[in-house]
Structure 1
Amino acid sequence: MAITLAMLKTFVSVAENGSLMEAAKQLGRTPSAVSMALKQLEIEFDTQLFSGERKGSLTPTGIFALEQARNLTDQCDEVFSAIKAYAKNEIGYISLTCVPSVAEHILPQVIKAFHAQWPKVEIEIRDADSRSVINAVHSGRVQFGIASLAKNLPGIEFTPLFEDSLGLVSSAVDSRPAPNKSINSPKMRSFLKNKKLLLNSITQTITLPEILENQENSRITVHNVTSVLALVKAGAGLTVLPRLLVPDTDTSLNFIPFTDKKLRRTVGLFQRNGTLLSPAALSLIEKIHTRIAEIELNMGGNFTKLEQPTQER
């Protein structure tokens, strides 16, 4: 019979209590079961651990065995406690990367709520463009990512989270057309006349003739969202961005959605096929869903939460 953790714990209890009866009470076992466990342990060690039948004192081997058994049982208890805490989100590690709009407008409230509930979980966040997000997930550098879907990729699982409109973003000083009133092609050509379009990764994907015409006259490309919005506010030009990046609370900017309903982006969760997210990561994602639903209520038709099946724990 192999030595078991239960046998070692029984030995430690008897040695510390100096009595079979007290150890049996502590362990919730009968004295005969405790005595049998000690006999089996001595058979496995091929030596006596106690001096005499009353188990009141240890042999030299028993003293050494007690120190070793305590170390092992304490370590096992720590391991078991850590596993239970991990399963309950009390400890853990989450790594993710996401596009700037998610990092700025969705994650702050999510992380605040999550860490108030699970303060010992370590979280590492990076923001990047969609291509870099997907590459980080594919290479295994992060557990999951949140970005725009361009096309289905082998080895990557995509779960949609929300859609939002794309539109022109201008300074609030330029009040035409009215904020949040969609703009069609004839009005867009008139609106863009004599205006500089600040290029970014999104403008380069739009094939509207009015946008393409204006791109030819632009000499400014800005890859950072904060920078391009600062330029727009300063009156240096206008740009194209998703709705989430221009909240209603920012009165210095106008968001003018495109009439074409095809000009929307789909943002979702990326993870490698076959991987299971930790309980802590799943809990964080649940809070992301909740936050997206809150944003949908505030933004109306230009932002839509997408329904998806809940991942099993």
Structure 2
Amino acid sequence: MRIDLQTDEILAFLAVAEKSSFKAAAEELFVSQPALSRRIERLESALGSQLFERTTRRVSLTQAGRQFLPHAQAAMEELELAIRGISETSIQRGGMVTLACVPTVANHLVPSVLKEFAAKFPKARVKVIDEGAAQVLESVVAGIADFGINFIGAQESDIEFEGVYQENFVLAVPRRHSLARQASVSWDELAEESFISVGGTSGNRTLIDHALAKLKKRPAIRYEANHIAGAMGLVAAGLGVAAVPSLALFGDAYPTLTGLPLTGPRISRTIGLIHRKGSKLHPTAQALFGMVKKAMSSRKPKPAAGH
């Protein structure tokens, strides 16, 4: 004979057996007491036996309830192990993870994380969308990317933004430049410099323009590049100076450049992880998400002075 038992009915039975109270069990399961009672009634009907003795003072197991208890516990434990095993198998099999990321982070942090990820999940495939902040946000909102690393998105109603660290913008200059000897540089001092900027659609450009909107003296843009990496290349070629996130100067990619703190005003951005609200990452994506978050938390940029 096949007995039709529902998981929520067994969980209700275990909760009441543990708490010896319908009220406490209902609170534990976040259901109403009538709903909990209906689950127990359906279970008792399916088993053909009463499982609880109910009095005004307490709830206790009947002989049938005591007999059923270890089997119910074992069944739920086996189900949990089965689900966990399937999830772990799914991760080991691989799967495709799409990560959207602003270029500065993609260039300086993501490669080392992916190297570690590949060692743990050799069969997984990863696609990195290294684009500007607006494109990264759009990729996550549209579901093209599983999650993203960005400095915008906190104001989006459909996006969960987990800020991890804040980094300042610094002035990238050649080490032989006259400004390189200074401890810091104010924006007023850049009025006569050959200034290199990212394009007008860049999220970084938006941050800078907004911060400098009230300044009377602003640097005149002589060269413009689509991305930070392009601007850094122009600075390295001796064509001018550029305001860039401090992370852009990490590592050995630009040994001839240094970064100077910018003042009057200081400009910063908050780097965080973004994902769609209400969506659950599949196991492989969740594993990479956790590794990226851990790496970002342990590698927060420091002031760039003296770089």
TM-score range, shorter chain: 0.5 to 0.7
**In the alignment, what sits opposite 2:110?**
107
| Deviation of 1:295 (Å) | 2.5
State yes or no: 1:166 paired with 2:169.
yes
**In the alignment, what sits opposite 1:221?**
224
Alignment of 1:108-187 (within 5 A): 108-149=111-152, 151-178=154-181, 181-183=183-185, 185=186
Q: Give the residue type in structure 1 aligned to 2:196.
A: L
Pick aligned residue for 1:243 from 241, 246, 250: 246
Structure with the bigger percentage of strand: 2
Contact 2:197–2:205 at 8 Å: present in 1 too? yes
Q: Which runs of 5+ in 2 are unaligned?
A: 3-83
**In the alignment, what sits opposite 1:196?**
194
SS of the residue corresponding to residue 239 of structure 2 reads coil
Provide the rounded CA distance (Å) in 2 between the counterparts of 1:105 and 1:171: 20
Paired residues, number: 218
State yes or no: 1:269 paired with 2:267.
no
SS of the residue corresponding to residue 168 of structure 1 reads strand
Percent identity of equivalent pairs = 25
Provide the rounded CA distance (Å) in 2 between the counterparts of 1:211 and 1:235: 26
Contact 1:196–1:214 at 8 Å: present in 2 too? no
Larger radius of gyration, structure 1 or 2?
Answer: 1
| Deviation of 1:81 (Å) | 7.8
Q: 1:93 to 1:295 in 2, by over 3 A?
A: same
| Deviation of 1:96 (Å) | 1.3
Q: Which runs of 5+ in 1 are unaligned?
A: 3-79, 304-313
Alignment of 1:15-26 (within 5 A): none
| Deviation of 1:93 (Å) | 1.9
Contact 1:155–1:272 at 8 Å: present in 2 too? yes
**In the alignment, what sits opposite 2:73?**
none
Once the two structures are overlaid, the 10-residue window that deviates more, 161-170 or 111-120, is: 161-170
Provide the rounded CA distance (Å) in 2 between the counterparts of 1:211 and 1:106: 34
Q: Give the residue type in structure 1 aligned to 2:188.
A: R
Residue deviations 1:58-113 (CA, integer Å, cap 9, x gap): xxxxxxxxxxxxxxxxxxxxxx9865411x54422211110001110110000001
- Cα RMSD between the aligned structures? 2.9
